[in-house]
Amino acid sequence: MCEFAGRLPFKKWEVPKETDDKWRRLKYVLLGVIIVIVFISKRIDYGNYETYVTLFSFSGNVFTWALVAVSLIANLKVERFWCRYLCPVAAFTGIFSRKADGYPSRYDCPMGNKPSPHISECIRCNRCYKGSE
């Protein structure tokens, strides 16, 4: 969804560093809440809040459609809003990923990711790839 809304010709809002740091923690909190709810309820379908599935299958409950709406509207102003701040899949992969050779830690990351120690959020877009050293 980020790619669709991200290509619309709206002026993007540059998120202040302090706000960005706080908002990036939201996806980890959301992941934790989902894990707790799934274990307490013993229903894995509570973890199926994926905006892509809702949008392209046209199926979902009120909560998933609200997530789609929030993501699309927010992405008009903030680039990759869902991926950066809310996506529990990005949080899960961010926990287990590590720095890969050839991907420098940069302050001017074209995807807006933070340099080390936050390199785990690198999505390997290959825009800064330098090759193995």
Q: How far is the C-alpha of 31 from the C-alpha of 37, rounded, in Å?
A: 10
Q: What is the pLDDT of residues 11-26, one digit of tens each?
A: 677 788 788 888 888 9
Contact between residue 51 and residue 67 where contact means Cβ atoms under 8 Å apart: yes
**pTM, two decimal places:** 0.71
Residue 102 in contact with residue 126, Cβ under 8 Å?
Answer: no
pLDDT, residue 90, reads 83
State how far the Cα of 70 lies from the Cα of 64, in Å rounded to an integer. 10
pLDDT tens per residue across span 91-118: 888 887 766 666 666 666 766 676 665 5
The DSSP 8-state label assigned to residue 99 in this structure reads P
Closest to 132 in 3D by CA, of 99, 100, 101: 101
Q: Which of 73, 31, 67, 74 is nearest to 52 (CA)?
A: 67
Average pLDDT, the chain: 77
